[in-house]
Structure 1
Amino acid sequence: MTIRGRAAGLILLPLILPFSLLAGCAVVPPATAETGAVPPSPPPAPVVTPLSGDFAFQGSFQQGGLVLGTAPVGTVRLLLDDKPVRIAPGRRFIIGFGRDHGGQAMLEARAVDGTALRKPLAIAPRAWSIQSLPTLPRGTSPTPEYQRRRAAELAQINAAREVQSDTQGWQQRFQWPVSGRISGVFGSQRIYAGEPGAFHSGVDVARPTGTPIVAPADGVVILAASAPFSLEGNLLMIDHGMGLNSAFLHLSRIDVKTGDRVVRGQPVGAIGATGRATGPHLHWSMKWQDERIDPAPLAGPMPGR
């Protein structure tokens, strides 16, 4: 543009700003009429990742078995037989099948856009050790006093199993808490005069009282009984994460307390014969969510056997 000065005869040349100065000037969007504020930029559109790939598994699809898996890319929700399954970073998860699980299960992965991948699973049956005692009654009826005591104990156990920690023990290779003779196997059952008794929910290892036991994998102590329970005796429970936990029964002592973090191989207590036990041994049981899991396949062959 041309600017004329007040002095006669003076003509100023057009004012041209260097490009470098123009480049540094910010372009300010117009303010709104009502507030005078600059309107915010719209949020970026969400990225929708469709399902791709398939499931990957490691473990045993059988009654009492536990399986580690990886979900397809894009999975935001996972269901086993229509029940939610937690998903860890990297789309990792675990699923388990109880002692009496049927021959089929359905695993379903869902994406944020609602698409789903359904994976039928075949669950292999196992042959359980069943002992028939046709002349022996199942037992006497519990007294009201025992029922009250037992209800309080079960409330502690159920509350402990509700605890969800961030431990990663569920991803580790489990080890035996103690080595020795296996005196009781998972899933065995007695039939008393035609009436089935409760099946054996864990594995028993016979060793003398005072023999130390160790944590089979990393975890958080969710219950360290301050007094012996009527059935379990001195009871210790450890959460391994993702709904998987271990229980150790009949201990002579407990060396950790509720809330402690333990690592694989760390001493946590000692074998005893407290509670309803006929001799010193360790009863090791495991649960994933509401399913009873056999610890033996997770720990592998007994050392020295």
Structure 2
Amino acid sequence: MRTSYGFHLNESIPERLYVMESIGWGEAVDGSYGQDGMKRPGSGYLFQYTLFGEGAITVGGATYKVPKNHGFFVSIPSEHRYFYPPDGRKPWEFIWIRALGGAMSDYWQHFIRSFGHVASFRDDSEPIRLMWSMYHDAAEQGFRDKFRMSLRLFEWLLAFERIAEGLDRGSQPMPDSLQLAKRFMERHVGTPVSLDDIAAAAGISKHHFCKVFKMYTGVTPIHYLRKIRVEEAAGLLRNTGLAVEAISRQTGFDNVSYFGKVFRQYIGVSPTDYRKGLTNVYENRHLQIVD
């Protein structure tokens, strides 16, 4: 489920340690979404990566598109604004980290010199895999140890550094077996398929497939399948007059009540409300205490 996690520090933390201010997975669907870098409270360094759709950012006197598999580096506060584009037709889905401390300023300046404010990173690259890993850690157990948090952020920064220095060209490509599995799920978005079917398409055992798929994508195969089904359903809700029940069947859900439950988990509103245009960025901030 898309959500965000903020971290409140209940003690003074040495400046040499890295601190995660927030991490989240969100979505924007219309022009009401936008952030002005001079008006946001606090300070820090933000990296936001597009998972689906496209966003835009104005920084350094220029406006850039931020399509799928691209992310942007900005500091807060600074002169920038990122937003849902006026000509946007699809939801803009993204994951972000906002952090500070340590040598963040030096790293950020180096990354912007090396990559530019907006850069392309494969979804199976090490920095993106580490972002998902930290997101799931925040969801499952939080970061209640300031040293562990600092270590994870430093590892993430070094993953970008390896790419900047030419030591890693965006991580090893996703294995062919997983590419086959993803294509199989995308082709069968509207038909019932089991985990056994997907693993068979990948040509590897179910246990190994589940382990490797999550390692490369950050989510389970079933989560990925539900996600692409919900994306397909959202498109049909926006662009057709099909009844909700028909859309649920067409996107692989044989029970309209279950379809509504899953759709709400991913999008934040019911299919009917989404069609009416009531949806917005789905946020549910969880405050965690870091010792």
State whether TM-score is above 0.5.
no
Higher strand fraction (1 or 2)? 1
TM-score (norm 1): 0.23
| Higher RCO, 1 vs 2 (CA within 8 Å, ≥6 residues apart) | 2
**Quick check: which has more Rg, 1 or 2?**
1
